[in-house]
Amino acid sequence: MSVLFALLISFDVANARGPGLPNVMVLATGGTIAGSGASSTTVVGYTAATVGIETLLNAVPELKTVANVKGEQVFQIASENMNNDYWLKLAKRVNTLLAQDDVDGIVITHGTDTIEETSYFLDLVVKSKKPVVVVGAMRPSTAISADGPINLFNAVILAGSDEAVGKGVLVALNDQINAARDVTKNNTSTADTFRTPELGFLGYMQGNKPYFYRQSTRRHTADSEFDVSSLDVLPQVDIVYGYANMNRVAIDAFVAAGAKGIVHAGVGDGSLARPAVEPALDEARKKGVVIVRSSRVGNGIVARNGEAKDDEHDFVVSDTLNPQKARILLMLALTKTTDTKEIQRMFFTY
């Protein structure tokens, strides 16, 4: 990076934030962005979560031109190993930091496999309008053309910007900005994997500056009713996947294992197979398990009283949330109520 280019970056960000650079905290959780491979051409079969936060930050010395950056290793895992305990720990740490006057924004480095779930969980429980940006990489840090450094650089700029304030938790990779609620991993391996298929990106990173073109209309972060500050566990909620020739075995097993909620990832508009599945869900509901109808399709609204008589069954529909995000909202809803009408309100709100 030339001295002139670095000065231009510093000037742009300083103007956006007023005198001085923003203070951005980078919380590291592992993932491919912190991964390493056997050689510079290893882009599959690498080992995730091997590189620590200081190494990540030192690999992008340009960060000091756009923000006062500090790093913290919260945990170090591949994101397929993400669980509720990690989420609670991360959320509490984020809220503690955002309450400090000397923190303007937070970047979270994360594995891409569950980045959409962690970001949506945080979108529902973060208690601040300050920017929170979740970032990852599709290639390990040791690879030719590793995407982690530029993704991290952009994420720090975004987290320190005025433009990102009040936008909810953001997912930023590949020069694209997505809303946590809507983004999903769209491809197993390409760098442009993160998409909001029908609703579209919120904006782009270009020339070391964020450009927003839309924003989410759903409640989030500081306006959310959910609070995990005193929670040590989350209710058990499981997902049952719909398919041709489906049976009730998984539903019965989850109920027997103590599920408080089940998300049914149905075919089409959340359709329920009869006679195998619908009776099993009815029986689960009568035992107190809250049932949410979602869809495996990945786009569109699951219509209430559309492919099932939800009022009669006392089911909830997921609106446009995919199954994995419907699970997160249902878990948090169950920390407040078991009233399905109230839970349905939450699904139409968040």
310 has binding-site annotation: no
113 has binding-site annotation: yes
- Assess contact for 109 and 171: CB atoms under 8 A: no
Among 32, 109, 221, 320, the one annotated catalytic = 32
293 token code pair: 């109808």
Among 109, 112, 142, 221, the one annotated catalytic = 112
| 232-235 LR contacts (CB < 8 Å, sep 24+) | 232/88, 233/84, 233/88, 234/84, 234/87, 234/88, 234/331, 234/332, 234/335, 235/260, 235/261, 235/331, 235/334, 235/335
d(CA 137, CA 209): 20
Alpha helix (H) residue ranges in 220-336: 249-256, 277-286, 310-313, 323-334
3-state secondary structure of 249: helix
- Tell me phi and psi for residue 92, to 5 degrees: -65, -40
Please say if 32 is a catalytic residue: yes
Residues in Cβ contact with 2 at an 8 Å cutoff, skipping those fewer than 6 apart? none
Which one, of 268, 225, 202, lies nearest residue 123 by Cα?
225
123 has binding-site annotation: no
Block residue for tokens 């149905």: 266
For residues 128-166, b (16+ Cβ closer than 10 Å) or e, as one string?
A: bbbbbbbbbbbbbbbbeebbbbbbbbbbbbbbbbebbee
Tell me 36's DSSP state.
Answer: B
Known catalytic residues are 32, 112
Binding residues for substrate: 79, 112-113
Binding residues: 79, 112-113
